[in-house]
């Protein structure tokens, strides 16, 4: 079993394997219920019942459902970074186009398949559609650290700005693609890919 990533909203981090497994079940239940009933109807009691744990176990980790959603967003980011890293391990070092495809493709895959992702993604979007700058900055910082070595670049201020602009641009366009089509409008996604290639090519070629 992979370790549960640290989540800043946790009241208490799991230490023992059994506790970590219980936290995983709670977050899985939260994600599934978000898709089924939405955030407003979500309750800590329903999460406990779905996870098969006492309600006290939920409150051991989280003070309320907002903290659960925040922790789910953090877990999503950790899993996303893992997926991108696995793709890069199979790609040719230094190929920024392959890196960009990995970053975009894995985000789209999670957008389409990860439970609860449409509501929380990498930063809680509750109320629905309420997006903040912090999650994209966190994502771009993680990607800068991950991709700098792969691309043979220094993760300096300029590279961080480049990736932040790319993440912000891609995020806005991907949201548009999924507003047009629940599975993501392929034409808008194709335009997003071309826009990223044009922008990054100017900086990374």
What confidence category does residue 42 fall into, taking pLDDT thresholds of 50, 70 and 90?
very high
Strand ranges for the chain from DSSP E: none
**191 vs 205, which has greater pLDDT?**
191
Q: What is the mean pLDDT of residues 16-36?
A: 92
pLDDT value, residue 4: 41
Q: Examine residue 24 and state whether it is found in any structural domain, yes or no.
A: no
Q: Examine residue 7 and state whether it is found in any structural domain, yes or no.
A: no
Q: Examine residue 30 and state whether it is found in any structural domain, yes or no.
A: no
| Structural domain total, the chain | 1
pLDDT value, residue 118: 87
Q: Look up the CATH number of the domain holding residue 126.
A: 1.10.357.10
What confidence category does residue 5 fall into, taking pLDDT thresholds of 50, 70 and 90?
very low
If 0-12 CB within 10 Å is exposed, 13-18 middle and 19+ buried, where does residue 14 land?
middle
Q: Examine residue 157 and state whether it is found in any structural domain, yes or no.
A: yes
Q: Examine residue 37 and state whether it is found in any structural domain, yes or no.
A: no
pTM of the model: 0.85
pLDDT value, residue 15: 58
Q: What is the pLDDT of residues 160-193, one digit of tens each?
A: 999 999 999 999 999 999 999 999 999 999 999 9
pLDDT value, residue 3: 40
Q: Are 201 and 100 in contact (CB under 8 A)?
A: no
The angle at the Cα of 171, spanning 140 to 204, to the nearest 5 degrees, equals 50
Tokens of 43: 């309750």
Residue 1 has pLDDT above 80, yes or no: no
Q: Examine residue 119 and state whether it is found in any structural domain, yes or no.
A: yes
Residue 129 has pLDDT above 60, yes or no: no
CA-CA distance, 47 to 52, in Å (whole number)? Answer: 8
pLDDT value, residue 13: 67
Q: Examine residue 113 and state whether it is found in any structural domain, yes or no.
A: yes
Question: CB-based contacts of 48: which residues, under 8 Å, 6+ apart?
Answer: 26, 29, 54, 55, 57, 58
Nearest to 30 by CA among 16, 44, 20: 44
Residue 150's domain spans which residues?
A: 72-204
What confidence category does residue 19 fall into, taking pLDDT thresholds of 50, 70 and 90?
confident
Q: Examine residue 36 and state whether it is found in any structural domain, yes or no.
A: no
DSSP state of 172: H
* Average pLDDT score over the chain: 88
């Amino acid at each position: 079993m992979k370790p549960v990533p640290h989540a800043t909203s946790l009241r208490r981090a799991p230490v023992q394997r059994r506790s970590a497994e219980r936290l995983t079940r709670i977050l899985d239940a939260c994600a599934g219920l978000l898709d089924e009933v939405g955030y407003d109807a979500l309750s800590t009691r329903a999460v406990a019942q779905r996870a098969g744990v006492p309600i006290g176990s939920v409150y051991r980790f989280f003070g309320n459902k907002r903290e659960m959603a925040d922790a789910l967003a953090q877990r999503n980011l950790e899993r996303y970074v893992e997926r991108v890293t696995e793709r890069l391990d199979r790609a040719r070092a230094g190929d920024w186009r392959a890196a960009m495809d990995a970053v975009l493709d894995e985000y789209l895959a999670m957008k389409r398949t990860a439970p609860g992702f449409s509501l929380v993604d990498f930063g809680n979007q509750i109320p629905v559609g309420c997006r903040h700058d912090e999650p994209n900055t966190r994502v771009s910082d993680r990607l800068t650290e991950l991709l700098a070595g792969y691309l043979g670049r220094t993760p300096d201020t300029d590279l961080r700005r480049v990736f932040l602009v790319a993440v912000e641009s891609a995020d806005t366009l991907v949201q548009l693609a999924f507003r047009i089509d629940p599975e993501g409008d392929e034409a808008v996604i194709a335009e997003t890919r071309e826009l990223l290639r044009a922008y990054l090519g100017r900086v990374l070629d």
